[in-house]
Structure 1
C-alpha cells in the first residue's frame, strides 16, 4: 500500500494560514472549520482591527488622564476585535463563496472547501456578533451607538470590490472605526482628534491592504474583481508613499490636538516619537516592497502589526508620564 502525501489543503488547512498555528495543532477537529472561518489561524487581521482601538483609548488617556475603566476598554476592545473580526470574515466568506473557489489563495477556505455549509457559517457569524454586542454594552451610550453604526460598513465591505477599484477605502472605514469608539468610550464624546486619527488609520489601511492585494492581482484581473493593486499597477510604490505621508501627517495632527492643550511637553514629545516610529516602519516596508513577489507582500502586510504597535507603546508611556 502506497503512502499518500498530505498537503495542507488535504488536511483542511487554509493555504495562507500561519504555519504551525494553534488552530491546526491544538483545536478540536470539529471546531477547526469555524475557527478558520474566523481567521483564528491568521491573527494579523485581528491585530489590524484592534490597533486603532488601542490608538484611540491610549491617546485619549494620554491627553485627559488615565482612568481605571481604561483597562477594561483596552481588554474589552481586544476581545471584541477578535470576535468582530471573526464575524466580519465569516460574512466575507459567505458573500465571496462563489469567488473564493476561483482564486488559488482562497479556494482552501472552509466554505469553498466544503468544510462547513453556508447555514452553519451564518449561525457562527450570529454567535460571534452577539457575544461582541454583550461586550459593547459595557461601554457608555455614545460608544455603544458608534459600535452599532459600524455594522453598515462591515456589511458593505465584501461587495466593494465588485463595483470600485477602491475597496481598500471601505476596509479602512470599517477596520479603523475602533479609533472613534475607544476614544469615545474613554471621554464620553467624539472629539475631532479621534476623527483625524480615524482618517490616519484609513490611509494606513489603504497602504497595507494594497500590498496584500498584490498577491491576488492576476486572479482578480481574470475574474473581474477590483482593487487598488490593479488600479495602481507599476506606480504602486509612488501611490503608497503618498498614503504613508497622509497617515503619518494625520496621526501627528491627532497627537498634537490631543496632547498639546492638556498634557505636558514630555507627553507631547513621546506621542510624536510614536508617530516617528510608525513612519519609519512604513518607510522600511516601502524600501523592501516587491509587488511581483507574493511572499514578500504577505510578509510586509503581516509586519503592520509591529508598525501599529509602535504608537500604542509611546501613547501608553505618554499616558503614564
Structure 2
C-alpha cells in the first residue's frame, strides 16, 4: 500500500464483512479489488452456471446437477469476478475518482498501484484458466469466447446508453457453460436460458445503477438507469418480464416438470416484489433490492435441481 494511503471500507460492502474484520491490512485493498468484500457479484455470475447445469441434468435425465461441475463453477466465478472487477477498475480509475460511491476504491484512492493491479488480474485469470481446462474441449472453447465481451464492457458506459446489455452478455455466459460442460454442445434450451439471464442482468444492474445516477450525470457516464429516468420501474419490469418468458421457453424445451415451473413462479414473484418496492430516488433500497437477486436466483436453482431429482 503506498505511503499515506488509508485503509478504507467501501460504502456498498456489507457491514461487518470478513475482509474488513479479519483480513490483514495489506491484503484488504486487493481483496476489495476482487470484490471479496461484496460477494453478491460472484453469486450473480455463478447462478446462471448453476441454472444451466441443473437444466442440463433435467434434459439428460440425471438425478442432480453434476456436483464437480458446480464446484468448479463456484471457484471460477469467484476468480473471474475478481479478475473482471480488477480490470474494470483499471480502466475506470479516473471515472471512479469522480463518483462518490467509488472514489475510495483501491486504485483511485492510491491504495494499489496500477502495476500491482495488473499483476493481480493475471493471477486471478490463471486461477480461472486452471478451472476452465477441467471441462471438455467444447466448454473450454465456449469459455474463451466470452473474453472479448468482458474486455469490451468497461468502455461501453462512455459511448452506449445501455452498457448493462454488454454486462449481461458477459455475466450471463454461465447460462451456456453448464449445458456445454455436460453435453459438449449447445442447444436451443441453454441459448434461451442465456438470453433470459442477460435480461435479468440488465434489470438488476439498472436497479444497482440508481445509486450513482446523479454522479453519473456529472461524470458523463451512461447507464440504463439514466436512460429510463422516471420510467425506471417500467424498464426494470420489462426486463424481468422478458426474463420470465425466455426461462419458460427454456424449461419447456428441456422437458422440465412441475417443480421447475413452480420455482419459476416463485422466482417471478420475487422479481415482482423488487419492481413494487423500487423507488428511483432511494439508493439504499436499490442496493437492498439488487442484493436480493442472489436469493431469487437460488430459489430458481433449487427448483430446477428438485425437478431433476423428482
TM-score (norm 1): 0.93
- Residue 91 (structure 1) shift: 0.3
Task: Supply the distance in 2 between the matched residues of 1:42 and 1:68 (Cα, whole angstroms).
Answer: 29
Residue 67 of structure 1 and its aligned partner are, at CA, apart by: 7.7
Trace 1:230-241 onto structure 2 (pairs within 5 A).
Answer: 230-241=226-237
Whether 1:204 aligns to 2:193 is no
Q: Displacement of 1:60 after TM fit?
A: 0.7
Secondary structure of the residue aligned to 2:289 is: helix
SS at match of 2:86: helix
Match of 1:300 in 2: 289
Partner residue in 2 for 1:278: 267
Q: Give runs of aligned pairs for residues 182-221 of structure 1, distance below 5 A.
A: 182-221=178-217
Structure 1 residue 10: Cα displacement: 5.0
Displacement of 1:233: 0.3
Equivalent in 218, 225, 232 of residue 221 of structure 2? 225
Aligned partners of 1:68 and 1:46: how far apart in 2?
A: 22
The runs of 5 or more residues in structure 2 that have no matched partner are none
Report the alpha carbon displacement of residue 11 of structure 1 after superposing the two structures with TM. 3.7
Distance 1:244 1:112 in 2: 34
Displacement of 1:20 in angstroms is 0.6
Alignment root-mean-square deviation, CA: 1.3
Q: Which residue matches 1:263?
A: none
Matches of residues 29-48 of structure 1 in structure 2 within 5 Å? Answer: 29-48=25-44
Does 1:72 pair with 2:68? yes
Partner of 2:307: 318
Q: Any conservation in 1 of the 2:263–2:299 contact (CA below 8 Å)? A: yes
Q: Secondary structure at the match of 1:105?
A: coil
Q: Structure 1 stretches (4+) deviating beyond 6 angstroms?
A: none
- In the TM superposition, what is the alpha-carbon distance from 1:65 to its structure 2 partner? 2.6
Report the Cα offset of residue 255 of structure 1.
0.5
Q: Determine the structure 2 residue equivalent to 1:245.
A: 241
> Which of these residues, 98, 105, 122, is aligned with residue 102 of structure 1?
98
Which runs of 5 or more residues in structure 1 are unaligned?
1-8, 260-266
- Rounded Cα–Cα distance in structure 2 between residues aligned with 1:122 and 1:294: 32
C-alpha distance in 2 between matches for 1:157 and 1:296: 26
Alpha-carbon distance, 1:68 to partner: 8.6
Give the match for residue 109 of structure 2: 113
**1:290 and 2:279 correspond:** yes
> 1:96: Cα distance to partner?
0.3
Query: How is 1:40-189 mapped onto 2 (pairs within 5 angstroms)?
Result: 40-66=36-62, 70-189=66-185
Q: CA deviation at 1:18?
A: 1.0
- Give the distance between the partners of 1:79 and 1:37, measured in 2 at CA: 17
Q: Secondary structure at the match of 1:292?
A: coil
SS in 1 for 2:211: coil
Structure 2 residue matching 1:214: 3-state secondary structure: helix
Taking the aligned partners of 2:10 and 2:252, their CA distance within structure 1 comes to 43
Distance 1:37 1:11 in 2: 13
> What is the aligned partner in structure 2 of residue 5 from structure 1?
none
- TM (norm. structure 2) is 0.96
Whole-angstrom distance in 1 between the partners of 2:302 and 2:81: 23
SS of 2:257's equivalent in the other structure is: helix
Residue number in structure 2 paired with 1:18: 14
Cα distance in 2 for partners of 1:65, 1:113 equals: 52
Aligned length: 306
Instruction: Report how far residue 218 of structure 1 moved.
Output: 0.5
